[in-house]
Structure 1
Amino acid sequence: MKITHNITTPLISASSNHAFPLSILSDREAIWYFAQSIQLYGHKEKQSLDIFEYHNVAKEPTPFVSISSLSLKDRLVDEFLIESLRAGFYIRLYLDQYYLQYQTSFSRSFKTNDILIYGYDSSKETFMFVAVNKNGMLERKVLHKKHICNAYVYANPQESSKRNVYLYKAIHHSQPEIKNMLNEISSQLKDYLNSKDCIEIHSNIKKLYPSNDYAYGLDNYKLLIQHLKAIGSQERELNIKNFQILVEHKYIIQFIIREIHKLGLIDKSYIYEINNIVIMVENLKKSVLRYMLRKNERVILGLVEKIKDIQEKEIQLLQRVLKRIGDSTCI
């Protein structure tokens, strides 16, 4: 017997809080999710970047994904996982850097952490799951059930919220009204462009991220520049995941602009512009990877100028997009 649920390649893979819900949604269902994922935030001290979550998707449902949590207590892990898969659920488990052995003569191992189980093959007694690796890329893996059970029993984090198992299921809604979606996109873009006012405008940002140690929207370009400059002056590793998240954030903007173009509100020149920005950000990530290999300090100045150029081009484009959306919603 084989139980397999559909898994798609999500537009956002660097953060499991986004990748897991998106991997069970169709492209049409994901539109509303992306419309609410335009904000960017970063932690100044940790110099880490992420796409803002309007929902704590580890614990709370999003408009298109039902999420429930429960404690296994004395239940057998593998039996519960199989029953949940049969009932149509995907299962999210938190595992704390547990090294699992491949069953090969080479005795290789790999680390698993936060995973989403989407299938089970009883003939091989293996679970199928996806996980986000250290570079922010989504990977599909297959493991024998005894390894999954051992990982949960012996390597489950101690935080109470991560001791629970989370069940995911897609909610198939009718699409939101066009005007509502455009208003949401307009509001999000304004917050992104006016990052200094963002925390004052949105109470949910204050609630989820009350510390003043966070940067929002365009201020995260400054955070990346500080991160790069700190590499030379401090003994700090470059977090390549930040640049993967930046790339994926531009994919979201690209997706949104394409949707606005489909509505006939902007012409193709806007798509060409965002495509060029995406290419610039992808090339920036490649340049950062090359720097990490060669450790040439002179490269830092060039990377900083690239970041500033990307930021300026993005501001000019989004300001014009906002004007076009504003003109259409006033009609």
Structure 2
Amino acid sequence: MAFPIHRPRRLRKNENIRRLVRETKLSIDDLIYPLFIEDGKNIKTEIPSMPGIYRYSLDKLDEELKEIIDLNIPAVLLFGIPSYKDEIGSDTWNEEGIIQKAIKYIKDKYPELYVITDVCFCEYTEHGHCGVLCCNDVDNDKTLENTKKQVISHAKAGADMVAPSGMMDGVVKVIREALDSEGFVDIPIMSYSAKYASSYYGPFRDAAESAPAFGDRRTYQMDPANRREALKEVALDLEEGADIVMVKPALAYLDIISDVKNNFNVPVAAYNVSGEYSMIKAAGKLGWIDEKKVIFETLTSIKRAGADIIITYHAKEVAKEIG
């Protein structure tokens, strides 16, 4: 019997040919780096469950920002840790709030860096939920009223993009109308369209001090068992005016990323979340995996699934390797 004509191994012979035929390639242009900004002074605190990731006060932020720019990472996603919390998260629309000050600081000193703000309330409320409570659950429509005030304050401070993450029904429409009515028609919305009630968020809640004081977030974040619902959520957000849609988390939801990419002709972001980051770091520290290779394999899988943008705490590590 003649040997088969086709030998796929021909195109795996050495690294040069593998590079030439590689279907999916990570780029620095794909990356957004999350930053945790804390109210106060002289703060650079490593997050115990996220080795290598820190909370910074503004006076300690320059070294980090300069490194991000030197690595050519195009954008950062800001999360604030305020000094004041209340029942409704009113510091989210304080013109002198930590995120507002951070936006102004970054855009004044590093105007070339694209600044995206997370739009939510969990870090700013005493109860740790993502909005105004009514009968121990988040009141959707009352929360939307406060969301309008939050995004306008971010826009006035100089944010380049806003990213609502609370999974409130109708939030994109409310934000788009609020921005447009104030003349911020050019500010895009990256919506956390398919954000699941995931157990992978644990380390983030340590980082942002945003763990709920009671219960969980399953009444507003998506059930991890649901697939078709993600397409419904994305379709609604696009109808309301979203410019970019996001799937969060990423690694356990590659099928959702693929579904969204295959069904909608818009940029798709994926959030490689804190738990995904921390698992790799923990296994790498123990010597159970080749940490660098697993980072690249993980992020490549996210891009291969269809993500155009990857929000990841590994951004600096990746940029150092491929820059």
- On whether the aligned pair clears a TM of 0.5, the verdict is no
Which gives a bigger RCO, structure 1 or 2 (Cα 8 Å, sep 6+)? Answer: 1
TM value normalised by structure 1: 0.29
TM value normalised by structure 2: 0.29
Higher-Rg member (1/2) = 1
